[in-house]
């Protein structure tokens, strides 16, 4: 399970609210994927909230997304399901200096085809860099 961290000079609540709002994923995700996410459940964002995402990676990807864990200002976990497979994403927020350390993990629960073929290489060489770039874009949004 690849994991990356970054320090962000912002309050934990601000960082958490930004990353927990899955509809903002297109703002900090890989720009080449042209990701668009909208909430499909009613009510506030929290455990059980659902979203639909559409993006470009190995063709068009249409995923359903559910927040499976929600601990305000500390941790949010969401799972996506689509052609790429069933993937768990997690953000962990801990105090650090005058702000927080934000950690992001990516865990493939069940890979879809053709992702399953590239998974070992992706875990070793691609995903760590992709996670790091996501965190850098989040930092820029929150500190900018």
pLDDT at 122: 66
Q: Which domain range does residue 89 map to?
A: 3-143
Model pLDDT for residues 78-120, shown as the tens digit of each residue? 999 998 889 999 999 999 999 999 999 989 899 887 677 776 6
d(CA 144, CA 138): 10
Q: What is the per-residue pLDDT for 115?
A: 72
Report whether the peptide linkage leading into residue 114 is cis, meaning its omega lies within 30 degrees of zero: yes
28: domain CATH number is 3.30.530.20
Q: Is 58 left (phi over 0), alpha (psi -120 to 50) or beta?
A: left
Domain total of the chain: 1
How far, in Å, are 19, 86, 88, 110, 136 from residue 103 at the CA level? 11, 20, 14, 22, 11
């Amino acid at each position: 399970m690849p994991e990356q961290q970054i320090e962000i000079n912002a309050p934990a609540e601000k960082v958490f609210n930004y990353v927990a709002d899955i509809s903002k994923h297109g703002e900090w995700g890989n720009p080449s994927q042209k990701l668009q996410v909208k909430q499909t459940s009613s009510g506030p964002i929290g455990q059980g909230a659902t979203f639909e995402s559409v993006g470009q990676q190995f063709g068009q990807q249409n995923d359903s997304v559910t927040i499976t864990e929600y601990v305000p200002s500390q941790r949010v976990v969401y799972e996506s399901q689509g052609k790429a497979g069933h993937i768990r994403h997690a953000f962990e927020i801990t105090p650090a200096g005058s702000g927080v350390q934000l950690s992001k993990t990516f865990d493939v629960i069940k890979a879809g085809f053709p992702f399953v073929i590239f998974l070992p290489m992706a875990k070793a060489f691609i995903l760590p860099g992709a996670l790091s770039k996501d965190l850098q874009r989040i930092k820029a949004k929150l500190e900018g």
